[in-house]
Amino acid sequence: MYIVRGNVVDALLNKEIDFLLHCCNAQGKYASGIAGEIRQKIPTAYNVYMNSINTIPESKCLGTISVEKGVVNIIGQKYYGYAGMRYVNYGALAKAFNDLFYVVQDYSLKQPKDISIGIPHLIGHGLAGGDKLVIMELIEHCLCSWCDNVILYKI
């Protein structure tokens, strides 16, 4: 795992990475931060996200993944807000990171260890309120255990 300066959405569009992971809420709000940029530049990823939250019962959606054009929507938080509290669910992120191993096999011709995964360096932090050290540990343990090319993008 390493950190680079750059825009993770542009990296996906320029085919510098195979998958872009980001954390979404279960409320259908996909407008702020990285989600807003994805919605603008890759609108079908938003459509797939909306379809998934409309078809999966709210009680079962945490930790689920939907994929469209390399964008991996992880439902990692039930709610969102600006109250400065933690909305991200660490267990949901861990489940999704582990499940991704099987998901990428369906969407990529490469072996899971050979794909490249781009992640916004603030995944689960920012508005989601997660602890950076906990999330970095989840990425290291759950993703880096099977993928050799995990890149955190910092603007």
pLDDT of residue 57: 86
pLDDT of residue 35: 94
Phi-psi region of 87 (alpha: psi -120 to 50; beta: other; left: phi over 0): alpha
Q: Using an 8 Å Cβ cutoff, are 114 and 19 in contact? A: no
Q: What is the DSSP letter of 71?
A: E
pLDDT tens for 74-108 read 999 998 888 889 999 999 999 999 999 998 888 87
| Structural tokens at position 152 | 């955190």
Domain boundaries along the sequence of the chain: 2-154
* Fold of the 2-154 domain: Leucine Aminopeptidase, subunit E; domain 1 (3.40.220)
pLDDT tens for 112-152 read 889 999 999 999 987 889 999 999 999 999 999 999 999 99
